[in-house]
Amino acid sequence: MNRFLALFAFVVLAGFLGILIMGVPSPDLIVIVLLTVGLVAYDMATSSGKKPDSDA
């Protein structure tokens, strides 16, 4: 369920930023948006997986 919610949030963020890029096609903004989407994708891939069970 966590991975589904993370994927949904990623799609919503990417959609919003895509609309922003279409409305304001500035090269600097495109670079920043691509960097942001890349960092979010990396964070989602590394932190939304299954956590090992802990006894504590």
Q: Mean pLDDT in runs of 10 for the chain (56 residues)?
A: 83 92 92 93 80 56
Residue corresponding to tokens 């994708």? 41
Give the distance, in angstroms, between the CA of residue 46 and the centroid of all CA atoms in the same chain. 12
The four Cα atoms 8, 11, 16, 22 give a dihedral, to 10 degrees, of -160
| Residue among 19, 15, 21 nearest 40 (CA) | 15
pLDDT of residue 50: 63
| Tally of CB atoms within 10 A around 33 | 19
Q: Which two tokens stand for residue 54?
A: 């802990």
pTM of the model: 0.71
